[in-house]
Chains A and B, each alone.
Chain A
Amino acid sequence: MIKRAFVGAFPSLVIGLGGLVLWEVSLLVLKPDGFLLPRPSEILGSFVEHFDAIWSATLNTGYIVVTGLIVGVLLGVAWALLVSRFRIADETLTPLAIALNAIPIIALAPIFNAWYGLLSPTSNQAIVVLLVFFPVFINTTKGLTSVGATEIELMRSYAASKWEITKMIRIPNAMPLFFTALKIASSLAVIGAIVAEYFGGSQDTLGQFIVQNAASGRYTNAWAAVIAASVMGITLYLVSGGFERVATPWRPDVDLVG
């Protein structure tokens, strides 16, 4: 299993390392102005040098991302369950969800800072919740409602109740789409948290670290924080994929994209 995973990852490892080497070498040869694009080795140096600050910022940003992601996912799933179950909910909550999604959510960040206090992480969490909510809602609803007529008739022939149909048919049917949404949402959550942090919230976050270092021309440090944020995004994606594999054992090869 582990060996297979390693063999499967080999091509991407080659591409990744090759890209880094190419990046490093071409900058050494071309020698552009250092602040435009630092070399990977310089970024790594910054990362090691500022590890404590970056680690602490990563923990704080990670807290905002994970809590916002959990609340947003729960909200999206609950909303989808209501909408798929009750016509009245569908007629009222679906347009509301679409309207919410039409708001450029990042634009709310400064406003949320005013609501929740400039230094409170709550405003950043709220941005993450709003960003995550919609893809989870729309995909889960699709999964809950795209059950074939034959399947519904079968369940009715067994005198199954509506709740039994939801529990035994609609929810398992929605699983693949839900996990697709979760993977999208986990990346969105990182983006949303960091952009929201640019505008305020706690001062010890990756977003603030990037803004402050970039403002004072220390781009290598900013890059180091970007790397930390990327690692967080990849980790969340992989964790989502892990949950998917455990929750949908009937699907043969749920791979990274599936």
Chain B
Amino acid sequence: MKHFTKALLGAAAVVALMAGPSVAAEKAEVIHWWTSGGESAAVKVFADQFNAAGGEWVDAAIAGGEAARAAGINRIVGGNPPTAMQFNTGKQFEDLVAQGLLGNLDEVAKADGWDKFLSPVLVKAVSRDGHYFAVPVNIHSNNWLWYNTALLEANQIEPPKTWDELFAAMDKLKAAGVIPMAQSGDAWTQVLLFNDVLLGVGGRDLYLKVYGDNNVEAVKSPEFAKVVETFGKLREYGDPGQQGRQWNQATGLVVSGKAGFNFMGDWAKGEVIAAGLTPGKEVGCVPGIGNQVYWIGGDVFVFPKTDNADAQKAQALLAHTMLTPETQVAFNAKKGSVPVRGDVDTSKLDACAQAGLKLLGTENGSVPGFDFLQTPDKIGSIQDVIGQFWTTPSQAPADLQAKFADIIATE
């Protein structure tokens, strides 16, 4: 009898579950990797706006970009695609487009007039052969240097403008017994640091030659040697606790005053804001030390192809919602990035974002991101050699240069 009651209860629960969604609006399951404090506050803007527009946001957050992309691609290939999933702006979703697995967004793009408010760089990044396949949601700049203002003042250090000043400042901090540079143990953050040095010491032209043209001579040049040397010197300023530390924990060390500097993209601002501080005030920012360039990165959402009419409706609604001016301003203020629309009010953005916007507006003030230019395969190989170099203090810079040249030379 007891069992029978239990079974009955179970059946009732199942029926209740099945009956539930039938009244709900267009459901959209969205895979993304925004899990840190600042990031989840930003993604909530999307969810709220989409729900307000009559949809139902089903959150599928997976920690770590690589893991999230792997999960999403697997589901697409396996025939059970999510309604939408996140990628970094760039080449990551290229194969999915080539295989015809992504939905075409031309209709929404035409109705909303994407051509009018998206910059040509972004249009190029999200379309293939004249068709739109992704919704760009933000513009990030990867090469920021963050510092704790109070800590610098306490040690009588001026915010550095050149690499020499930075090294001098870090020596002072080291002597004072604080961590000079907070660094995460994740390989992608080591690559980010390397590219910061490449842009800051080597300059925009060298960056474009190496990644844009795959020019091996540029990698073998003395300018690149200087980049590698500077990067090697930075190894002395990290702390032994790097291994296993996430990027937001590294930024957190600067926010809490345990470390002086941190190289990280402008999404670090989200952590500053989440801690109740103001970017540009308690935590200062330098948009690319030595050589101010806006290194464009960002995130896009793609919408896997589906035959389900409801899912298609949800996709169109979501694509529209993500790009409305209100969503863009609210989302990017939380995320620490810059809106993709050129026609929204940016005066409310913080001091750091203003500095970035100024660079973005000047000619030759920006470079396309690493992900725009190189395939995941090659980026992976570069990650391996840089990670190895960074964690092996005895490895000579020339060794990294030679390995780097080998990778750039491959197809």
Instruction: Please determine whether chains A and B interact with each other in the same assembly.
Output: no
